């Protein structure tokens, strides 16, 4: 019992000491924590947030540092953008150089070749005789082309206005190797026909308007026919829109053309498939503006004003732009259709991807399909608002794809837009480097002025080989 009481007393004393030690240690720890946290708590417990006082000089300094930082960031971005632009330009230049070398290697044997090719009458090219020069004619025409108003009414951009002032400033993005020539100059006509002959082209489709029109080209037809005949070439009229054109006066103008030039050996004629008749070929631009019922009266054998079987009978070629024009061509009783525009994607007819189907449609309906290909397109010297339709030549590669697309379509006749439509930059006529104080003209360098004539010659030969192979397979 005694020992039990003793043990109990000792245990109580130990518990007391332990409790006292825990109390002391807890108090000390609490004091330390209070001391360490008191500065933070003094801020947190204020009724409002406390911010250290800031001098205006300090604020200005911070603002200057921020501005400096923003400026440095902006300069860095500009520097990066500049380096990226330079890198892109260098990449483009290198790509152009590679394309140029590739095309030069392809055409180089041609440039050194003395092989004479015969004119291929399945290859037609659009030709323009509307240029006049101060030196030869005493007046400028077409080289001083007006800058045309924007046909996009919702486009609010502001563009230059006025007219061009030749010879330094002309309405074209390229500059002719002959300078600002006159289409009436016999030496120019002879050179053009010789260039077409050497390129293997057989038919020049000459832009024509009647003698009564202001800007008529009829006066040059006799000289063109004579020169073409000297070089074994042919001429086909390309009847353009003119004031008041309608099916009735058009019929009279066709009568005029055939009466004046129908017997000339230089006028192009071809055999009509359905009856074997050999007839003149007449292209009609913007044919779709007349309703098919009006054309039916002229071109159907049952029409009240039919030209079929008369002295005005011919191979009439209409223009197809949109998809629905297929039915218009068929209902109108045209003999065939062409697409004119050398701008891939500009219209249904000018889109290379549609040419196979258009040729199929033509074959199914007894029509002649004539796709129109070109070396490129740019008209911003006369339509500065039309840059979106520019098609860069890429040192002949655009022309190459256009030719391949035409050949792959299966078409038996091909047209080229153009020999000398300088306003729209579709010409294959030789061009040269030139500039004025405000503008540097495009050119064919480094391949040289005759590059597109030589390239055309090469493709005409490919086309002839394909036609010959197809003919042999049928026989």
Average pLDDT, the chain: 85
Question: What percent of the chain lies above the pLDDT cut of 90?
Answer: 68
Provide mean pLDDT across the span 263-268: 98
What residue ranges define each of the domains in the chain, with the CATH number in brackets?
A: 119-474 (3.20.20.80)
* Sequence-ordered list of residues with C-beta below 8 angstroms from that of 151, at least 6 positions apart, any chain: none
Whether the per-residue pLDDT at 446 is higher than 50: the answer is: yes
- Token output for 346: 């500009």
The CA distance from 375 to 455, in Å, is 10
Q: What are the DSSP calls for 60-98, one per residue?
A: HHHHHHHHHHHHHHHHHHHHHHHHHHHHHHHHHHHHHHH
Whether the per-residue pLDDT at 2 is higher than 80: the answer is: no
- Determine which of 56-70, 289-303, 357-371 has the lowest per-residue pLDDT on average: 56-70
Kindly state the DSSP code that residue 441 receives in the 8-state scheme.
-
Long-range contact pairs involving 380-383 (C-beta distance under 8 Å, separation at least 24): 380/173, 381/145, 381/147, 381/164, 381/170, 381/171, 381/172, 381/173, 381/423, 381/439, 382/145, 382/146, 382/147, 382/148, 382/171, 382/172, 382/423, 382/424, 383/147, 383/148, 383/150
User: What pLDDT, on a 0 to 100 scale, did the predictor assign at position 19?
Assistant: 54
Task: For residue range 223-243, list pLDDT tens digits in order.
Answer: 999 999 999 999 999 999 999
C-alpha dist (Å) from residue 261 to 56, 123, 129, 266, 334: 94, 21, 17, 9, 22
Question: What percent of the chain lies above the pLDDT cut of 70?
Answer: 78
CB of 206 closer than 8 Å to CB of 224: yes
Nearest Cα to Cα of residue 337 among 403, 292, 276, 277:
292
- Determine which of 24-33, 294-303, 387-396 has the lowest per-residue pLDDT on average: 24-33
User: What pLDDT, on a 0 to 100 scale, did the predictor assign at position 296?
Assistant: 97
pTM: 0.79
Whether the per-residue pLDDT at 39 is higher than 60: the answer is: no
- Mapped onto helix, strand or coil, the DSSP state of residue 279 is strand
User: What pLDDT, on a 0 to 100 scale, did the predictor assign at position 29?
Assistant: 52
């Amino acid at each position: 019992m005694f020992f039990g009481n003793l043990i109990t007393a000792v245990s109580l004393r130990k518990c007391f000491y332990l409790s006292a030690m825990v109390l002391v240690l807890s108090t000390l720890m609490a004091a330390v924590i209070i001391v360490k946290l008191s500065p933070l708590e003094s801020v947190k417990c204020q009724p409002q947030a406390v911010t250290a006082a800031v001098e205006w000089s300090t604020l200005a300094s911070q603002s200057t540092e921020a501005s400096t930082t923003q400026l440095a960031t902006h300069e860095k971005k500009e520097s990066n953008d500049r380096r990226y632009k330079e890198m892109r330009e260098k990449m483009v230049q290198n790509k152009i150089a590679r394309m140029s070398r590739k095309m030069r290697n392809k055409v180089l044997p041609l440039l050194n070749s003395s092989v004479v090719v015969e004119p291929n009458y399945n290859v037609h090219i659009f030709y323009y005789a509307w240029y006049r020069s101060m030196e030869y004619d005493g007046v400028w025409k077409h080289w001083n082309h007006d800058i045309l108003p924007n046909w996009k009414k919702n486009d609010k951009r502001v563009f230059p206005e006025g007219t061009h002032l030749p010879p330094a400033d002309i309405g074209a993005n390229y500059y002719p190797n002959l300078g600002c020539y006159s289409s009436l100059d016999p030496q120019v006509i002879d050179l053009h026909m010789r260039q077409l002959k050497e390129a293997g082209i057989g038919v020049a489709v000459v832009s024509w308007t009647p003698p009564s029109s202001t800007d008529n080209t009829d006066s040059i037809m006799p000289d063109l026919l004579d020169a073409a005949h000297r070089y074994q070439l042919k001429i086909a009229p390309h009847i353009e829109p003119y004031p008041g054109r309608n099916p009735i006066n058009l019929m009279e103008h066709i009568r005029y053309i055939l009466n004046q030039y129908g017997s000339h050996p230089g006028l192009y004629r071809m055999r009509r498939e359905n009856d074997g008749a050999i007839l003149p070929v007449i292209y009609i631009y913007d044919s779709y503006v007349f309703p098919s019922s009006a054309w039916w009266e002229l071109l159907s054998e049952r029409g009240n004003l039919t030209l079929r079987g008369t002295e005005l009978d011919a191979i009439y070629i209409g223009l197809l732009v949109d998809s629905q024009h297929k039915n218009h061509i068929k209902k109108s009783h045209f003999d065939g259709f062409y697409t004119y525009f050398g701008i891939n994607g500009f219209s249904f007819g000018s889109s290379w991807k549609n040419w196979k189907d258009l040729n199929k449609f033509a074959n199914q309906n007894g029509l002649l399909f004539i796709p129109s290909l070109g070396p490129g397109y740019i008209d911003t010297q006369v339509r500065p608002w039309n840059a979106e339709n520019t098609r860069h030549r890429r040192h002949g590669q655009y022309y190459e794809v256009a030719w391949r697309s035409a050949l792959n379509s299966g078409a038996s006749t091909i047209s080229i837009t153009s020999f000398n439509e300088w306003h729209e930059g579709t010409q294959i006529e030789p061009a040269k480097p030139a500039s004025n104080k405000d503008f540097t003209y495009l050119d064919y360098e480094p391949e040289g002025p005759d590059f597109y004539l030589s390239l055309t010659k090469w493709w005409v030969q490919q086309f002839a080989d394909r036609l010959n192979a197809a003919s042999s397979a049928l026989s």
